[in-house]
């Protein structure tokens, strides 16, 4: 397998390739770069759901999962890892839909990855070139496009909008929460918090979450792993201190001491079931307590 150990991708020295096959996971749509042969990826059934690929204004593709009823539901934007909208991200949308949300995952890398090659690629430099081309203002523009599209859908309760993101998407979640007043809450899963140090991989996303703490418009819950090599404890502590200094009501960071980067990703060797389950429960509670409750039944 190839072990993904850092928030914006694995550095060459992090790569460890074994002879164990992960072809089945890749064939099912999971990212080749992070798939582990021993992984037992969760598959969420689609009964009672409507799932579809849509194209938003400007040509932005997105995956949508929602309850199959006539009610207007709260909506969550799901921001992908460095591998784009592969099967793990789609399944995350389905999990949120089963919880009672409209979940939408835009293809933030589509301009430079029109063939959706990220999920099947093991070419690390090529992956990082594609990810690096998605700069902050472009990504924020795509978030705005997604929010505008949601506002026009009869099946969305536009008063209840949230955002969550994983890895690369975790940083995007913090940035979007500082930009868009339409968002009521955000949950960032192990997204980079401060700028890169020499030698670290980066998508050149500027500014960084710690730079916009004073601008947060929505409370963000950060979920981080104590064993994460790419987001050291010093970075998390600095962000926690910045949140306290800014007096950002409702924003906080939870650290799971025995969890590594990517602990929610069940297709990876880094998956930590206890931390993933607890984080999911905390995410739903955070949305519920900050104006983005799910509609059930």
Convert the pLDDT of each residue in 95-127 to its tens digit. Answer: 999 999 999 999 999 999 888 778 777 788 888
User: How does pLDDT run across 39-66, given as a tens digit for each residue?
Assistant: 567 889 999 999 999 999 999 999 999 9
Residue 201 lies in a domain: yes
Q: Could you list the residue range(s) of the whole structural domain that residue 285 is in?
A: 12-289
Q: What is the pLDDT of residue 15?
A: 32
The residue from 93, 113, 167, 286 that is catalytic is 167
Indicate the pLDDT class of residue 264, thresholds 50, 70 and 90.
Answer: very high
Distances (CA, A) of 85 to 57, 103, 105, 109: 18, 13, 7, 9
> How much of the chain is in helix, strand and coil states, percent to nearest 5?
30, 20, 50
Place of tokens 């072990």: 3
Catalytic one of 93, 113, 235, 261: 261
Nearest Cα residue to 189 out of 64, 275, 66, 61: 275
Residue 199 covered by a domain = yes
The count of structural domains within the chain is 1
93 flagged as catalytic: no
In a domain, 5, yes or no: no
Query: Given pLDDT bands bounded at 50, 70 and 90, which one contains residue 297?
Result: low
Residues 90 and 93: their CA atoms lie apart, in Å, by: 5
Cα–Cα distances in angstroms (integers) from residue 223 to residues 172, 185, 191, 253, 255, in the given order: 14, 14, 9, 6, 6
For residues 171-191, give the mean pLDDT: 98
Which pTM was predicted?
0.89
Is 228 marked active-site? yes
Provide the CATH number for the domain around residue 104.
3.40.50.1820
Paired with 51 in beta bridges are 65
> Pick the catalytic residue: 91, 142, 157, 228?
228
In tens, the pLDDT along 75-89 reads 999 999 999 999 999
Q: Average of pLDDT values for 262-280?
A: 96
């Amino acid at each position: 397998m190839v072990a993904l150990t850092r928030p914006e991708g694995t550095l060459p020295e992090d790569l460890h390739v074994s002879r164990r096959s992960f072809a089945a996971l890749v064939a099912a749509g999971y990212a080749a770069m992070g798939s582990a042969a021993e992984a037992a990826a969760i598959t969420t059934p689609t009964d009672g759901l409507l799932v579809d690929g849509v194209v938003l204004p400007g040509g932005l593709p997105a995956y949508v999962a929602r309850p199959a009823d006539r009610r207007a539901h709260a909506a969550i934007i799901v921001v992908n890892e460095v591998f784009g909208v592969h099967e793990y991200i789609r399944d995350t949308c389905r999990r949120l839909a089963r919880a009672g949300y409209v979940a939408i995952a835009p293809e933030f890398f589509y301009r430079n990855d029109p063939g959706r090659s990220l999920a099947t690629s093991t070419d690390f430099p090529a992956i990082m070139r594609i990810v690096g081309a998605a700069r902050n203002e472009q990504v924020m523009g795509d978030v705005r496009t997604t929010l505008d599209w949601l506002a026009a859908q009869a099946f969305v309760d536009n008063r209840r909008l949230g955002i969550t993101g994983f890895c690369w998407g975790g940083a995007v979640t913090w940035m979007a929460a500082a930009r868009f007043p339409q968002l009521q809450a955000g949950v960032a899963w192990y997204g980079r918090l401060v700028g890169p140090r020499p030698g670290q991989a980066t998508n050149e996303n500027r500014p960084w979450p710690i730079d916009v703490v004073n601008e947060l418009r929505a409370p963000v819950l950060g979920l981080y792993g104590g064993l994460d090599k790419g987001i050291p404890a010093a970075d998390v502590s600095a962000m926690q201190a910045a949140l306290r200094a800014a007096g950002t009501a409702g924003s906080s960071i939870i650290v799971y001491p025995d969890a590594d980067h990517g602990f929610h990703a069940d297709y990876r060797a880094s998956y930590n079931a206890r931390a993933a389950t607890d984080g999911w429960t905390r995410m739903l509670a955070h949305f519920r307590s900050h104006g983005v409750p799910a509609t059930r039944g």
